[in-house]
């Protein structure tokens, strides 16, 4: 009787586990239909570029290396004798992927896929290969628009809305990693609005979709078969995929496409400010209820922010009705505004919210800030609680930095100044949210600093301003 009960229990367990497995399997997405419908609009992109190489003609037994994989081509080139004089040849390279966005042959891809190419070739799903025209490119967003002449009935992808994506949502990539056409990989959205080094104007979509060289420029799909992003970059320490891939939102890409079609180039909005993240200490120093917003550390003279009344020390909390949670949110939002349009900013100034309206400018090609100059000496003092020796700014220094007040650090001894990283040559313009117009003012403010509270200090180093915080012990 006991054995029968055990058998019945075991049989029940098997049935339950089998049912659970079926439920789990049923919850997993099926990508087959999506891949079948979308694949015809995916293309492989290769380029030809004139490079210098050793001629192979006339070398007996030398095989034809055209179209051979680079790994094998390099082996054969090293294995055969070479003539001494170089010549130019055209080297074909399979570099990336792309996708067709219009029936008349517009193709979208990454700029780095086709940059510096002499000729661009697009291979369709039916194996037709044709030369493509570069309509326009935008290096800042790493996007390029191509055009092929293949009739008016080409298959196209469906364009979705990247703004509707949510972390945890399934996404799928189709591309040509390492030249393997129409490779399919899937994963989930890890995060949105990511900022990458030197990529201030693209709020990247982070995913765990496997992306490798050759996937660049290929589409990222949602479960509805709509393109929501363009696979662009990976984070890696090994050169291969490590679980972190980044895609350009399709909303950003289609705006770039429209500007290229209309104007031949892309223009972005510009405020003319240098901003930094508001951490917990800075929030306390500026009496903010929580760490949020973008702290204005520097304003470009004559720029839109300067003309619009924005001031150093303002914390930008909202831009055109959208909350600025992180400082990286601001460049993304400003860049989407057309130059010449008006924008509304909500800032925290002197512990009060203030609304400003200003005209957005055009992002310049070179927005670098000039480095500080001038070496004139001036009287100094060292009797302050920060452990620094400061001096008056010379007229040349004020002119070169385009500032009206401040003091320059001459020496740094042991104390709070050294602990926060102050260096000789640094310019201090604000201390404890008060303007520093002379050595005397600096000394007075320093003597009145409170204990055990976050204190902010605005420092200009090599022409770039930023806020730092510190505390004074009793």
Q: Which residues have a catalytic role annotated?
A: 112, 142, 216
Of residues 305, 313, 323, 312, the one with CA closest to residue 351: 313
Which phi and psi angles does 221 have, rounded to 5°? Answer: -105, 150
Residue 330's contacts (CB-CB under 8 Å, 6 or more residues apart) are: 271, 275, 294, 316, 319, 324
215 among annotated binding-site residues? yes
Q: CA-to-CA distance for 159 and 443, rounded, in angstroms?
A: 61
Place of tokens 């204190």: 455
Question: Do the beta carbons of residue 419 and residue 356 sit within 8 Å?
Answer: no
217 among annotated binding-site residues? no
- Sign of the torsion angle spanned by Cα atoms 351, 352, 353, 355: negative
Residue 172's contacts (CB-CB under 8 Å, 6 or more residues apart) are: 31, 34, 35, 184, 185, 186, 209, 220, 221, 223
DSSP, res 178:
G
Strand-strand pairing, 294-299 and 388-392: unpaired
142 among annotated binding-site residues? yes
Q: CA-to-CA distance for 230 and 251, rounded, in angstroms?
A: 10
Please give the angle made by the CA atoms of 28, 32 and 35, to the nearest 5 degrees: 120
Task: Give the residues across from 185 on adjacent strands.
Answer: 173
Q: Where are the beta strands (DSSP E) in 9-128?
A: 42-53, 87-100, 106-109, 119-123
198 among annotated binding-site residues? no
404 among annotated binding-site residues? no
For the chain, how far is it from start to end, CA to CA, in angstroms? 81
Task: Give the residues across from 270 on adjacent strands.
Answer: 361
- Sign of the torsion angle spanned by Cα atoms 298, 303, 306, 308: negative
Strand-strand pairing, 226-234 and 158-159: parallel
- Residues at the binding site are 112, 142, 214-216
- Residues at the binding site for substrate are 112, 142, 214-216
């Amino acid at each position: 009787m006991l054995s029968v009960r055990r058998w019945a229990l075991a049989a029940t367990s098997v049935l339950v586990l089998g049912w659970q497995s079926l439920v789990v399997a049923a919850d997993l997405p099926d990508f087959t239909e999506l891949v079948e419908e979308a694949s015809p609009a995916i293309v492989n992109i290769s380029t030809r570029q004139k490079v210098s190489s050793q001629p192979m003609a006339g070398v007996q037994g030398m095989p034809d290396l055209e179209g051979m994989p680079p790994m094998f081509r390099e082996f054969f080139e090293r294995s055969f004798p070479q003539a001494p004089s170089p010549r130019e040849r055209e080297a074909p390279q399979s570099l990336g992927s792309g996708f067709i966005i219009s029936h008349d042959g517009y193709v979208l891809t990454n700029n780095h896929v086709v940059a510096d190419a002499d000729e661009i070739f697009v291979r369709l799903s039916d194996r037709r290969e044709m030369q493509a025209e570069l309509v326009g490119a935008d290096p800042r967003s790493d996007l390029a628009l191509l055009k092929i002449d293949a009739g008016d009935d080409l298959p196209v992808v469906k364009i979705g809305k990247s703004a509707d994506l949510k972390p945890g949502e399934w996404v799928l990539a189709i591309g040509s990693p390492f030249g393997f056409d129409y490779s399919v990989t899937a994963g989930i959205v890890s995060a949105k609005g990511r900022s990458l080094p030197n990529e201030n104007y693209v709020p990247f979509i982070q995913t765990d979709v496997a992306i490798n060289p050759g996937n660049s420029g290929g589409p990222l799909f949602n479960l509805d078969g709509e393109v929501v992003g363009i696979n662009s970059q990976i984070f890696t320490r090994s050169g291969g995929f490590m679980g972190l891939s980044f895609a350009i939102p399709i909303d950003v890409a289609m705006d770039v496409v429209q500007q290229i079609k209309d104007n031949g180039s892309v223009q972005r909005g510009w405020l003319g400010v240098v901003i930094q993240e508001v951490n917990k200490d800075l929030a306390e120093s500026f009496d903010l209820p929580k760490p949020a917003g973008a702290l204005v550390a520097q304003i470009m003279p004559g720029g839109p922010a300067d003309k619009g009344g924005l001031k150093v020390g303002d914390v930008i909390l909202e831009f055109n009705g959208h909350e600025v949670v992180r400082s990286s949110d601001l460049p993304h939002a400003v860049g989407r505004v057309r130059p010449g349009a008006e924008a509304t900013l909500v800032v925290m100034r002197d512990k009060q919210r203030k609304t400003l309206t200003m005209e957005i400018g055009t992002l310049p090609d070179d927005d670098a800030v000039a480095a500080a100059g001038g070496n004139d000496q001036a009287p100094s003092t060292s009797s302050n609680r920060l452990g620094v020796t400061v001096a008056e700014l010379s007229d040349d220094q004020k002119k070169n930095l385009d500032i009206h007040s401040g003091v320059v650090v001459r020496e740094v001894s042991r104390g709070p100044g050294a602990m926060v990283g102050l260096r000789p040559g640094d310019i201090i313009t604000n201390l404890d949210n008060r303007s520093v117009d002379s050595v005397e003012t600096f000394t007075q403010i320093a003597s009145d600093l409170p204990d055990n509270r976050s204190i902010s200090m605005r420092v200009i180093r090599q022409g770039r301003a930023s806020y730092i915080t510190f505390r004074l012990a009793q």
